Structure 1
Amino acid sequence: MFAKNARPIAWPLFFFYFFFCALIGVMMPYISVYYKSIGLTASEIGRLMSTFTLSGILIPHFWGWLTSKVGLPKRVLQIAVLGCFFTVIPFNWSDQFTTLWLLTCLMALFYSALLPMTDSLAVRSIRHLDVPYTRLRVGGSIGYLLAVAGAGFLIGHFGVLVVIPLMCTFIGLAAATTFFVKEQAYETNTQKETTSFLTLLKTRESILFFVLAFLAFMSHAPFNVFFAVHLSDVGYSGEHIGLLIALGVIIEIILFLFFGNAIKRLDVVHLVIMCFVFGIIRWFLVGWFASVLWVLIFTQLLHCITFALFHMVSIEQIRRLFPERYAGQGQAMYSAFAIGLGGGLGMVIAGYLWEWAGGAWVFTAASGTSALALVILLLHQRR
């Protein structure tokens, strides 16, 4: 999978993605089911889940600044992941919304920085190796897949109380993995650049990219928070929900493994158009036809396009729009504006819309968000 000279750098990053995304595989689909079981309302669940993504608006910039000041990305990553581990533990004994909200805010200070920090470190670490980013990132997909399927099985047999202990286990293993990551200190002497990050950020192409990424993650927000709840309401068991989510990730893994370099040879506009077209179809079908198993299977197969392909294109666009000096800031902006603000705002809106109109209309709104992104892209291309 990795060349001999790349293994000492690639494998630790691969396994960090594996365990950290296993945490996400337990938390994102199932913690909302756990919250519902202890009596929280849909709007409270939406507010709790949005805290993780809304914190991504500012927090990654702080960690990026700290990394540049310290100059040791591995050490900063260890501080963040250990902080996340110790803040997850008290969730085991909390069942009141206010307490959970305070704990979530504290956890989010560390959690929201981990993925952008790791993406930036991974891209930087392999820049002189013949290793595509997706070959590392597939570790996260595999971890997510196994965690989703395994957690669904355990929930079906032991109940939703297993969710928090599983989260503690996976973030603890991710923390242990960081001790094997190869340290690559940043250079302290940098040459003066003729173009600033702000100038690159204000280009027409950059603005369009971030707007589309914002809408893409907003459209995925109901899936991240309420997909398991929606299927549970329709009548699916925990095991079936886990297998359905795992199906989408299996296709995602295939895409990451075999098409990592292929996207560089394809037209980015056509790829993004395809992502949003299938997003319109996917969310509408999830909203109104989730009770039909073969339709739901079809929508999960589309996950490799609406999420995985768009993420691959986004990482490539950040690499193309921002030179290596500003790659970390570009990644932080992507995490802050798209994942943080777009995903967080989508979660809050989804929570209130769920209580007001129900799950079908929540996913219909997600379909409409994909349609809006498609219209913006087509109008920009026409202009």
Structure 2
Amino acid sequence: MTAALPYRRLASFYFFHYAALGALVPYWSLYMIARGFSAVETGQVMAIILAGRVVAPTVWGWLADARGDARLTLRLAALCAFLPFACVPLVTNFYSLAAVMSLFSLGLSGVIPQFEATTFNHLGATPERYGLVRLWGSVGFIVSVLGTGLALGILPVTDLPWLVAALLACMLASVWITPITSALSATGESALLEVLKKPEVLSLFLVCFLVQASFGPYYVFFSVFLEASGYGSAEIGFYWALAVGAEIVVFMFAGQLLRRVRLTNLFRFAVGLSVVRWLLTAEFASLPLALFFTQLTHMATFGLYHLVAVSLVHRYFTGSLQVRGQGLYSSLSFGAGGVVGSIFSGYAWQHFGATMTYYLAAAMAAVAFFFTLTLMRSVPPGTREA
């Protein structure tokens, strides 16, 4: 890392942001069920959390790019994530919980795209170092998943919101101390619509939508699935942490991969492996060794996939379009794809059961893989514009 790069401050944000998600995502379904909500209501609230990603990243990105300075909008988004979530323990019914989580999602969904653009701006001419910064998010997620799993073995699961709120407060503090930059270059002022018309951009977003939709059963019901298969809370935390630990390996060595291998080949491998992952999860999750292997594939099915996706977005959306590009990626994949995946998984889980739900997830990933073969044109490593 160079002296000019605020590495520790950037890393602290990723650590606490993903630590908050590490406490929330794996255990939220257990929390809702403990509160007496149904599987459909659990899927709907998870969809609400993800729904903010459909609109919020693009809106926050437009505000940040229009100002030419993401400092105010990033801090405001982080504040809008913390304050509503701190009210979760006070709500008493499904509709009030849905309202609070909607506000929380609108704030949190605007944080990461703006910070991603800031990180790439700090990295400058060496964007392949992104993984060395981003890996601290995975570390935070692991520490949080394991710590929360152990804590919930002692504390009631209804105490979960207090743990998440504390981590969101730390994330807010890290945003406040990080120097926020925006890079506007003459070569990056192409119109947003012109970029969106490129076939390679459209195909990228389509594949990302399908991949994230296929993750729906994993994000919403994986902990419930493991609990029903006989695993305890600490074991559930271990398997979540194992998956994210696999990400760290990819992030550590991503620079070499991104410089030497065609990005589309890496992308196809990651998406294709997702098909295998969901098929194995459907049939063999009750076997610890098989589950161990399927969780290790997270290094490619999410880690490598995400690294390639953000790298491609960074190449296609330049200058004043940077935050909006990352916002669109977040909106269409984690947002729209996440919402569809959450809603589909809630209904499929209730009506068809766990095994069939993961088979349907594998089918979505298979369609995405097909599109990587037929629609995405080859992108060489080491170039700015594909």
1:38-87 CA deviation, whole Å, 9 max, x = no partner? Answer: 11111111110111222211111221222234443222211111121111
CA distance in 2 between partners of 1:194 and 1:305 (Å) = 33
Aligned to 1:104: 101
CA pair 306-130 structure 1, distance change in 2 beyond 3 A: closer
Q: Residue 380 of structure 1 corresponds to which residue in structure 2?
A: 375
The aligned residue for residue 364 of structure 1 is 359
Taking the aligned partners of 1:278 and 1:101, their CA distance within structure 2 comes to: 34
**2:62 touches 2:324 (CA, 8 Å); kept in 1?**
no
CA contact (8 A) 2:35 2:158 kept: no
Cross-structure match for 2:382: none
Corresponding residue of 2:234 = 239
**CA distance in 1: counterparts of 2:112 and 2:290, whole angstroms:** 32
For residues 177-227 of structure 1, give each alpha carbon's deviation from its aligned partner in whole angstroms, at most 9, with x where no partner exists: 12211143666xx75978422111111111111111111111112111111
Query: Which residue matches 1:134?
Result: 131
Query: Amino acid of the residue matched to residue 280 of structure 1?
Result: V
Q: CA, structure 1 residues 37+319, in 2 after alignment: closer, same or farther (shift >3 Å)?
A: same
C-alpha separation in 1, matches of 2:180 and 2:367: 43
Aligned length: 378
* 352-361 or 254-263, larger mean C-alpha shift: 254-263
* Distance in structure 1 (CA, Å) of the matches to 2:21 and 2:249: 20
Structure 1 position 207 matched with structure 2 position 202: yes
Indicate how the Cα distance of structure 1 residues 320 and 157 shifts in structure 2: closer, same or farther if over 3 A, else same: same
Contact 1:54 1:345 in 2 (8 A): no
Aligned to 1:28: 25
Q: Alpha carbons of 1:169 and 1:272: their partners in 2 closer, same or farther (altered >3 Å)?
A: same
Q: Distance in 2 between matches of 1:236 and 1:262?
A: 36
**How many angstroms does 1:376 deviate by?**
2.1
**Where does residue 351 of structure 1 map in the other structure?**
346
Aligned partners of 1:49, 1:35: CA distance in 2, in Å? Answer: 10
Unaligned runs of 5+ in 2: 379-386
Report what 2:9 is aligned to.
12
Take 1:288 and 1:225, find their aligned partners in 2: how far apart are those partners?
18
Which position in structure 2 is the counterpart of 1:301?
296
CA contact (8 A) 1:134 1:256 kept: yes
Q: Distance between the aligned counterparts of 2:87 and 2:222, measured in 1?
A: 26
- What is the TM-score of this pair, normalised by structure 1? 0.93
Detail structure 1 runs of 4+ shifted over 4 Å in the superposition: 128-131, 190-194
Counterpart residue identity of residue 362, structure 2: S
Contact 1:260 1:312 in 2 (8 A): no
Q: Does 1:274 align with 2:243?
A: no
Counterpart Cα distance in 2 of 1:195 and 1:76: 23
In 1, Cα distance between the equivalents of 2:75 and 2:328? Answer: 22
Q: Decide whether the 8 Å contact of 1:78 with 1:175 is kept in 2.
A: yes
Give the match's secondary structure for 1:375.
helix
Matches within 5 A, 1:22-61: 22-61=19-58
C-alpha distance in 1 between matches for 2:103 and 2:190:
36
Change in CA separation of 1:320 and 1:65 when aligned onto 2, cut-off 3 Å:
closer
The 1:195–1:90 alpha-carbon spacing in structure 2 relative to 1, beyond 3 Å, is closer
Give SS of 1:249's match. Answer: helix
2:169 to 172, 190, 215: 172
Residue in structure 2 matching 1:154, options 151, 154, 168: 151
**Offset, 1:382:** 10
Q: Distance in 1 between matches of 2:188 and 2:361?
A: 41
Following superposition, the deviation at residue 379 of structure 1 comes to: 3.0
| Matched residue SS, 2:160 | helix
User: Aligned partners of 2:42, 2:149: CA distance in 1, in Å?
Assistant: 19
RMSD between aligned residues: 2.0
Comparing 28-37 and 190-199, the one that deviates more: 190-199
Counterparts of 1:380 and 1:87 in 2: how far apart (Å)? Answer: 41
- Residue equivalent to 2:122: 125
Sequence identity, in percent?
29
CA offset at residue 157 of structure 1?
A: 2.1
- What residue number does 1:3 align with? 2
CA distance in 2, matches of 1:337, 1:329: 12
Q: 1:254-311 CA deviation, whole Å, 9 max, x = no partner?
A: 1101223422320222212211221111111112211111000000000011000000
- Aligned partners of 1:80 and 1:110 also within 8 Å: yes
